Chains A and B, each alone.
Chain A
């Protein structure tokens, strides 16, 4: 579904990503793990069109999306649930969700999608008129995920959803990600919470210093000495 080939990108003269290749097949949850500064967010910004690539290509559903603007990429069916939620704090919960349905095709169905999203997140329904700024971190993450679903995406890129959340809430977030997959949404999950991420994912890529240093199914990754030492503290 998504195929990144030999992607290099960076800011000005500073190159961050070096020949990154990765593939996400339909129906999969693919994990992208790596520490701070590994280049995870740069990779996401390049895929979603916020940052131009220096070389390499990104294909979505077999078509190149290089050089497309972010709103075009969103219209194609890639939804981005950003790091730090980035919800619209001065808007109500409902307006935030409506914004999620901004792409043309999603806008037509927004009433139905809204109903489905409210079923998944009953708490959002209870507070639909409340300003998003009054939400707790966990609730904001739920809102960001609800907003991401409103565009009826084929692929959801979820950037560090567990960041700054209490362990109980993290479990809830990971359950939601699994139920998203059951609804037929393909997921690229970027995380630092390695153990839980590998437990719910099918395959994983490990990004270090802007390069993919390991890839494979999650069981192999979990068993690897490198992962145990560097990420799990074992």
Chain B
């Protein structure tokens, strides 16, 4: 990867806000009486933030709508089920995370090589088909070959789960940042803009698409491993749940994909809304409200929450500048 596009001084400045957020995240488990619920809630935030950031890394710039998130997330679940069962872990947890990531990477690479020449809705349909296919194959293998329905995974403490998620988040953000700022980021955007022209300017279109698709899949697989040690019971329904393909995508669109913060903000807001609604009396209305907000976003905020914030900020700056020149 060519990193000459990155200005290291700017990186230092840009690192300020994320660093503060990271330090705040590290101290979440120490907030006294609230801590237990806090860790669980923040773990949920992190899961969706990572999935949304990973999804936007590929789809946000290339415009190839991938609905395969659940397939890679589910691979993570089964990596945990097979290597980290309740009867006794075969390898340490971080190895399981790496295996989940690696298997997802390889599967995405193969799937990408076959399907990334499909355009638009056909690619979206194939990736959703992949989730359903994984579900069927794994279900068949469990029930007909092994004669079981689910596998119990070793339970990890809330703190371990939380810090693993923080670690995966840091890796995801760094990867997303470096891809965005490098020559690859420019190439990905050019593919989303005009793929044929991108090929003519010298971009190895196929290779870049497949690699970034696979990198984003690896992150999704890593998250799956950790979530499995939290839910502890793994079956095909929880592992390959199509909602995992849709939710992070919708969260990223809501947050806005022109910026790294967008998917993270979208994921945080929606996870919190979900949490409030599901613990309150509006339990069954979550998807309805999610849907309405999303329709409003697509109609009125085409660049998402980040676009709105940016607009407001520009307006404030503009007003201040006008006031200064007048004064």
Q: Which residues of A contact B (CB under 8 A)?
A: 48, 50, 69-71, 74-75, 80, 82, 86-91, 95, 98-100, 102-103, 106-107, 147, 151
A100-B201 contact in complex given A91-B190, A107-B2, C-beta closer than 8 Å: yes
**Docked-complex contact B190 and A99, CB < 8 angstroms:** yes
Chain B: minimal CB distance from A80 (Å): 5
Top 3 A-B residue pairs of the complex, sorted by shortest distance between their CB atoms:
A74-B202, A86-B197, A103-B202
Q: When the two chains form the complex, which single residue of A50, A89, A90, A102 contacts B201, counting CB atoms closer than 8 Å?
A: A102
Q: Which residue of B lies closest to A80 (CB)?
A: B200
**Docked-complex contact B200 and A48, CB < 8 angstroms:** yes
Q: Which of B181-189, B226-234, B286-294 is the interface stretch? A: B181-189
**Docked-complex contact B201 and A147, CB < 8 angstroms:** yes
Asked if B204 is at the interface (CB within 8 A of a chain A CB), the reply is yes
Question: A106 vs B2: C-alpha distance in the bound complex, in angstroms?
Answer: 13
Q: How large is the interface on B (under 10, 10 to 19, 20 to 34, 35 or more residues)?
A: 20 to 34
Q: Which residues of B contact A (CB under 8 A)?
A: 2, 4, 183, 186-187, 189-190, 192-194, 196-205
**Docked-complex contact B197 and A50, CB < 8 angstroms:** no
Enumerate chain B residues within 8 angstroms of A86, measured Cβ to Cβ.
Answer: 194, 196-197, 200
Question: A80 vs B205: C-alpha distance in the bound complex, in angstroms?
Answer: 16
Q: When the two chains form the complex, which single residue of B189, B196, B203 contacts A102, counting CB atoms closer than 8 Å?
A: B203
Question: A206 vs B202: C-alpha distance in the bound complex, in angstroms?
Answer: 29
Q: Which residue of B lies closest to A74 (CB)?
A: B202
Enumerate chain B residues within 8 angstroms of A102, measured Cβ to Cβ.
Answer: 183, 186-187, 201-203
Question: A96 vs B200: C-alpha distance in the bound complex, in angstroms?
Answer: 13
Question: A106 vs B198: C-alpha distance in the bound complex, in angstroms?
Answer: 15
**Docked-complex contact B193 and A70, CB < 8 angstroms:** no
**Docked-complex contact A70 and B199, CB < 8 angstroms:** yes
Enumerate chain B residues within 8 angstroms of A70, measured Cβ to Cβ.
Answer: 199-200, 202, 205
Write 13 A-B pairs (CB below 8 A) sorted by A numbering.
A48-B200, A69-B204, A70-B202, A70-B205, A71-B199, A87-B194, A88-B197, A91-B190, A100-B201, A103-B201, A147-B201, A151-B201, A151-B202
Interface of B is mostly: helix
Enumerate chain B residues within 8 angstroms of A147, measured Cβ to Cβ.
Answer: 201
**Docked-complex contact A99 and B198, CB < 8 angstroms:** yes
Question: A82 vs B194: C-alpha distance in the bound complex, in angstroms?
Answer: 12
**Docked-complex contact A90 and B203, CB < 8 angstroms:** no
Enumerate chain B residues within 8 angstroms of A69, measured Cβ to Cβ.
Answer: 199, 204
Question: A48 vs B203: C-alpha distance in the bound complex, in angstroms?
Answer: 13
Enumerate chain A residues within 8 angstroms of B183, measured Cβ to Cβ.
Answer: 102, 107
**Docked-complex contact A71 and B189, CB < 8 angstroms:** no
Question: A80 vs B183: C-alpha distance in the bound complex, in angstroms?
Answer: 20
**Docked-complex contact A82 and B193, CB < 8 angstroms:** no
**Docked-complex contact A89 and B193, CB < 8 angstroms:** yes
Chain B: minimal CB distance from A39 (Å): 18
Q: Which residue of A lies closest to B258 (CB)?
A: A90
Q: Which residue of A lies closest to B193 (CB)?
A: A88
Question: A69 vs B205: C-alpha distance in the bound complex, in angstroms?
Answer: 10
Enumerate chain A residues within 8 angstroms of B4, measured Cβ to Cβ.
Answer: 107
Question: A102 vs B204: C-alpha distance in the bound complex, in angstroms?
Answer: 10
Chain A: minimal CB distance from B220 (Å): 26
| Given A70-B202, A82-B197, 18 extra CB contacts under 8 A | A69-B199, A69-B204, A71-B205, A82-B196, A86-B200, A88-B193, A89-B193, A89-B194, A90-B193, A95-B186, A99-B186, A99-B190, A100-B201, A102-B183, A102-B201, A102-B202, A103-B201, A151-B201
Enumerate chain A residues within 8 angstroms of B205, measured Cβ to Cβ.
Answer: 70-71
Q: When the two chains form the complex, which single residue of A50, A87, A90 contacts B189, counting CB atoms closer than 8 Å?
A: A90
Chain A: minimal CB distance from B3 (Å): 12
**Docked-complex contact B193 and A91, CB < 8 angstroms:** yes
A87-B204 contact in complex given A95-B186, A102-B183, C-beta closer than 8 Å: no
Enumerate chain A residues within 8 angstroms of B203, measured Cβ to Cβ.
Answer: 71, 99, 102
